[in-house]
Chains A and B, each alone.
Chain A
Amino acid sequence: MLSENRVIKVQALEKIFPGDVRAVDSVSFDVREGEIFGFLGPNGAGKTTTISILNTLMLPTGGRAEVLGYDVVKHAARVRNGIGLVPQDLTSDEELTGRENVELQAKLYHMQSGEAGKRIDELLQLVGLIDSQHRIVKTYSGGMKKRLEFATGLVHKPKILFLDEPTLGLDVQTRTSIWEHIRKLKSETNMTIFLTTHYLEEADGLCDRIAIIDHGKIIALDTPDGLKKAVGGDVIEIEVAECGMDVLEIIRGIPRVSLLEGKCVGTKARIKIPDSSVALPLILEGFWNRKIPVLNVSVKKPSLDQAFLEYTGRELRDEDKGNGGRQTAPSARKGRFRRK
C-alpha cells in the first residue's frame, strides 16, 4: 500500500541550458514509496531532462533533488546504487546475447554471480525472453529489445525504477504487454516507479498520480480521477465556417443550455456543459433556426485528454506538428492520443 515515505523529493528544480533554454523550470514534487508516478507532457516538455537529473546523469542549474534520501548532486554514488533506469532508447549491446547484457549489468552492480544467475533467470522468464536469451540482441525485434531493457534495469533490484517513455514507438500488443509487466512489478514487489510518457492512455491506466508538465513547468498534479474531475462537464465542439463571438452568443442565447464555458478554437466553438445529451439537440436546433451550417460536431466525456487540454490550452497532438524537440519516427507520432 502507499506509504507516506517520500523516496523522491524535488524542490524548485531548474535546468537552464545555454541560450536560456528552460528545460526544467522550477519544478517541485514528491514521489511516495510504492507508487507509480507519471510525468505526462508533450515532446520537449522537460521530462527526460528531469529524469536525467534524478538519475545523476545531469546536474541541475538550480533547486534541489533527493532520491532515497540522498542529494543527487552531492551523493550521486549512493543514489546510483538504489535506482534502475529503463531509458527511452534501446541501449543494449547489440553484439552480445540478451543474457550477457543482463549479466554485464549485474556485474556493474556488484552482484554475486550465484545470486545474479537466479535473478536473471527469473527476470528473463518474466519478460518472456528465456527462450531467446542466448541469441545476439541484433536479431531481436524492437519489442524484445525493449523487454530486455526492463530485465537489465531490474536486475539489481532497484528501490526506484525510472521508465523514460517505456512504450514509445512500440506496437499495440507490445505496449499492452509492457503495461502488464509494470502492473505486475508494482503488485508483486511494491517497487516505486517513476515514468514519463506522452501517451495519455498510459498515464491514465498505470499511474497512481500524474504530474502534467509543459514547457518545463508542472501545471497540474493529482490522481488520474482527480485530474478528470477538475475538467468538470462534457465538452462539445461544433465546427462552423467561422467561429466568433456571435456564434458563442447564439449558443448562450439558447434556452435551457447552461454554458459552463465557451470559446473559439480555430473554426470550432468549444463549449463545456454539465450534460451533453440534453443540450446537444437544443444547440443544433438553434444553429438550424439561424441557418448557420454546422460542419462537424464532437462530444467528449471527461478524460485525461480533456484534462491536458484544460490545463495547457492545447491538445497533446498539436505538439507533434511544430515541435522542435526529440525526433521520432513519423509512424510513431500518428494517432498517439487516440483513445481506444
Chain B
Amino acid sequence: MISETLALVVRDLKRWYRTPGQIILVFTTPLMWLLLFGQAFNIGKLAQGAPDVDIREVFGGATDYFSFMAVGQTTFIVLFGSLFSGVSLIWDRKTGFLAKLQVAPIPRASIPISRMVSTVVKSLLQAIVVLVLAALFVFIPGLSGLRFSPDFGILDALGIALFLILLGLSLAALFVALGLIVKSEETLFGLINLLNFPLMFTSSALIPIALMPDWLRAVANYNPITFVVDGMRQLVFHTSVGAQYSVAVDLLGITVFAALMMALGAVLARKALLRT
C-alpha cells in the first residue's frame, strides 16, 4: 500500500515540477496576491487614527492588515490546490492511465490517497513560499512585511504545517473523489467555482470577522478555513488577542472537518472505482 502510493505521489510531483512555468507560477501567484490585495486593499489605514481601537482585536492579533492577510493567504493556496486536485484524475481517465492503474494489483485506495498526498505536498511548499515572501516584503522600501512574533519557534511552524495539512487533506479528499466520479472537466470546474468563492469569502482569511455583517459572521464562525487561519494567526503572532477560538478548539474544529470530508471522500471514491 505505502510503496505504491509513494510511487504515484512521486509521479504526480514530477508532472508538477516539470510543467513549464510551474515553478514561476508558484512564486508569482502569491506575489501578486500579496502585492495587489495585501497592499492595495490595506483596510488597516481606515482604522488608523482611531485611538480607542486596538487594531489587533480586528486583525486577529496582527498589528497591520498585511500581516493579517498574509497568513490568510496560505489557506487560499491550499484551497486552490485542493479544489483542482481532481482535475488531473479526469485526464487520467481520458488517457486511459487510470484504467491501467485499475488493472494493476494495487489497493484501490492508493489511487485517491496518492493524489491527496501530492496535493498537500504541493500546497504546503507554496504556503511556505507565501510566508517567506511576505516576511521579505519588509525589505521593500515603503512596505511592511509579515511581522512574525519574536517568540515564533519551530513548534509554531509545525503547528502551522499541521493546520494546513489538515485543511488540504479535507478539501483534497472531497475533490479527488469528485474527480473520480465526475467524467467531464466542465462539470468539475462548475463545482469548483460553486465552492470556491463561498469558502473563500465567508472565512476570516482576507476580511476580519469583526467587519462582517451579523449573518455573514454567523457563517464565518463555522467555516473550516476560519478555524485554520484563527489557529495559525495565534501561532504566528503569539497572542490570543482578536482570536475567535483557542488554538485547541481551532485544531479540533479542522480535525473534525477533515475526518468528515475524508469519510465522505472515501465513500465517493470507493463507489467511483468499483467495477460496473
Give A contacts to B, CB under 8 Å. 55-59, 76-77, 80-81, 83, 85, 87-96, 100, 104-105, 107-110, 136, 152
Provide the residues of chain A in CB contact with B4, threshold 8 Å: 107-108, 110
With A81-B105, A85-B103, A110-B105: A91-B97 Cβ-Cβ less than 8 Å: yes
Q: List 24 A-B contacts (CB under 8 A).
A: A57-B103, A57-B275, A59-B275, A76-B275, A83-B103, A85-B100, A85-B103, A87-B100, A89-B96, A91-B97, A93-B11, A93-B97, A95-B14, A95-B18, A95-B19, A96-B14, A100-B11, A104-B8, A104-B11, A107-B4, A108-B104, A108-B105, A109-B104, A110-B4
The listed residue (A90, A104, A107, A152) touching B95 by CB distance below 8 A is A90
Provide the residues of chain A in CB contact with B106, threshold 8 Å: 108
- In the complex, what distance in Å separates the CA atom of A58 from the CA atom of B101? 14
With A95-B18, A95-B19, A104-B7: A57-B96 Cβ-Cβ less than 8 Å: no
* Tally of B interface residues using CB under 8 Å: 22
- In the complex, what distance in Å separates the CA atom of A31 from the CA atom of B223? 59
Provide the residues of chain A in CB contact with B100, threshold 8 Å: 85, 87, 91, 105, 152
Contact between A80 and B103, CB atoms less than 8 A apart? yes
Q: Which residue of A is nearest B104, CB measured? A: A108
**Additional pairs, 4, CB under 8 Å, beyond known A85-B100, A93-B15, A104-B7:** A58-B275, A83-B103, A85-B103, A95-B18
- In the complex, what distance in Å separates the CA atom of A229 from the CA atom of B259? 67
With A59-B276, A95-B19: A107-B103 Cβ-Cβ less than 8 Å: no
Contact between B105 and A107, CB atoms less than 8 A apart? no
Contact bitstring B1-30, A, C-beta under 8 A = 1, else 0: 001100110010011001100000000000
With A80-B104, A95-B14, A95-B15: A107-B96 Cβ-Cβ less than 8 Å: no
- In the complex, what distance in Å separates the CA atom of A24 from the CA atom of B19? 42
Q: Which residue of A is nearest B11, CB measured? A: A104
Contact between A77 and B105, CB atoms less than 8 A apart? yes
Contact residues, B84-107 vs A (CB, 8 A): 95-97, 99-106
A118 vs chain B, min Cβ distance (A): 19
Provide the residues of chain A in CB contact with B14, threshold 8 Å: 95-96, 100
With A87-B96, A90-B95: A108-B15 Cβ-Cβ less than 8 Å: no
Provide the residues of chain A in CB contact with B15, threshold 8 Å: 93, 95-96
- In the complex, what distance in Å separates the CA atom of A85 from the CA atom of B4? 18
With A87-B100, A89-B95, A91-B100: A107-B7 Cβ-Cβ less than 8 Å: yes
- In the complex, what distance in Å separates the CA atom of A94 from the CA atom of B96? 12
- In the complex, what distance in Å separates the CA atom of A107 from the CA atom of B275? 23
- In the complex, what distance in Å separates the CA atom of A56 from the CA atom of B100? 11
Provide the residues of chain B in CB contact with A90, threshold 8 Å: 95-96
Contact between A108 and B95, CB atoms less than 8 A apart? no
Provide the residues of chain B in CB contact with A107, threshold 8 Å: 3-4, 7
The listed residue (A100, A109, A152) touching B105 by CB distance below 8 A is A109
- In the complex, what distance in Å separates the CA atom of A83 from the CA atom of B8? 20
With A91-B95, A96-B14, A107-B7: A56-B275 Cβ-Cβ less than 8 Å: yes
- In the complex, what distance in Å separates the CA atom of A105 from the CA atom of B3? 12
A196 vs chain B, min Cβ distance (A): 15
- In the complex, what distance in Å separates the CA atom of A104 from the CA atom of B96? 15
Q: Which residue of A is nearest B4, CB measured? A: A108
Provide the residues of chain A in CB contact with B3, threshold 8 Å: 107, 110
Provide the residues of chain B in CB contact with A105, threshold 8 Å: 100, 104
- In the complex, what distance in Å separates the CA atom of A238 from the CA atom of B97? 49
A16 vs chain B, min Cβ distance (A): 12
Provide the residues of chain A in CB contact with B104, threshold 8 Å: 80, 105, 108-109
Residue of B7, B14, B104 most packed against chain A (CB within 10 A): B104
Residue of A56, A87, A104, A152 most packed against chain B (CB within 10 A): A104
Q: Which residue of A is nearest B94, CB measured? A: A89
Contact between B275 and A108, CB atoms less than 8 A apart? no
With A91-B95, A107-B3: A56-B11 Cβ-Cβ less than 8 Å: no
- In the complex, what distance in Å separates the CA atom of A81 from the CA atom of B104? 7
Q: Which residue of B is nearest A80, CB measured? A: B105
A90 vs chain B, min Cβ distance (A): 7
- In the complex, what distance in Å separates the CA atom of A9 from the CA atom of B78? 50
A29 vs chain B, min Cβ distance (A): 21
Contact between A55 and B103, CB atoms less than 8 A apart? yes
Provide the residues of chain A in CB contact with B101, threshold 8 Å: 108
- In the complex, what distance in Å separates the CA atom of A93 from the CA atom of B104? 15
Contact between B276 and A96, CB atoms less than 8 A apart? no
Q: Which residue of A is nearest B101, CB measured? A: A108
Provide the residues of chain A in CB contact with B8, threshold 8 Å: 104, 108
Contact between B99 and A87, CB atoms less than 8 A apart? yes
- In the complex, what distance in Å separates the CA atom of A58 from the CA atom of B276? 5
Provide the residues of chain A in CB contact with B11, threshold 8 Å: 93, 96, 100, 104
Provide the residues of chain B in CB contact with A136, threshold 8 Å: 18
A155 vs chain B, min Cβ distance (A): 11
B113 vs chain A, min Cβ distance (A): 14
Provide the residues of chain B in CB contact with A85, threshold 8 Å: 100, 103
The listed residue (B7, B18, B19, B99) touching A108 by CB distance below 8 A is B7
With A96-B15, A104-B7, A108-B101: A91-B96 Cβ-Cβ less than 8 Å: yes
A136 vs chain B, min Cβ distance (A): 8
A74 vs chain B, min Cβ distance (A): 12
Q: Which residue of A is nearest B19, CB measured? A: A95
- In the complex, what distance in Å separates the CA atom of A56 from the CA atom of B105? 10
- In the complex, what distance in Å separates the CA atom of A85 from the CA atom of B104? 9
Provide the residues of chain A in CB contact with B276, threshold 8 Å: 58-59
Q: Which residue of B is nearest A103, CB measured? A: B7
Contact between A57 and B102, CB atoms less than 8 A apart? yes
B17 vs chain A, min Cβ distance (A): 10
